[in-house]
Amino acid sequence: MREVSPIMNKVLVLCVAAGLLLLSAPAFAHHGDAGRYEDNVIVMSGTVVELQFTDPHAIIVLDVTENGQTVRWQAELGGRGGLARTGWTKNTLKPGDKISMTGRRAKSGAPYMNLTDRSNVVLTDTGKEVFKTENYGTEVRKRPAAQLTQPSQQ
């Protein structure tokens, strides 16, 4: 049997490693949000507690007054890279800022909102819109809800 040269051995190891890396790519794929959020948007106002300018999603933490009680909400945006391309920084929203936001609430009833579809964020003191999705103000969904179909009658 012929002996494999050290260079060929390294090439083989590199090819196997590259193959394993490519096969693992689906494991790093972005998660979907199907079924997690209400289809209709709501509008709410509150006071910013913190902006978590992170990946894979930036989070706005805010206090919202509901029925005389303060409820801590979180609103999920896209990642900081995408936000930075639109001019956002970690200081775009600061603690104490009053905001109004339009987004989709979690179906579970948790105080959590998605701001990636038909959404916007406005500084209520100045009226300045600091965030808006391309489809804000329309009924065009980023990801249309799955339509349940009846099995065909044959």
Instruction: With beta carbons less than 8 A apart as the criterion, state whether 129 and 121 touch.
Output: yes
Residue type, 150: Q
Q: Are 59 and 96 in contact (CB under 8 A)?
A: no
Domains and CATH numbers, the chain: 42-132 (2.40.50.140)
Q: Which residue from 93, 38, 29 is spatially nearest to 61, judged by alpha carbons?
A: 93
pLDDT tens digits for range 107-125: 999 999 999 889 999 999 9
Q: What is the pTM of this model?
A: 0.71
Mean pLDDT score, 57-62: 95
Average pLDDT in the chain: 81
Model confidence band, residue 28 (pLDDT cutoffs 50, 70, 90): very low
Rg (CA), the chain: 23
When pLDDT is averaged across residues 41-49 and rounded to a whole number, the result is 96
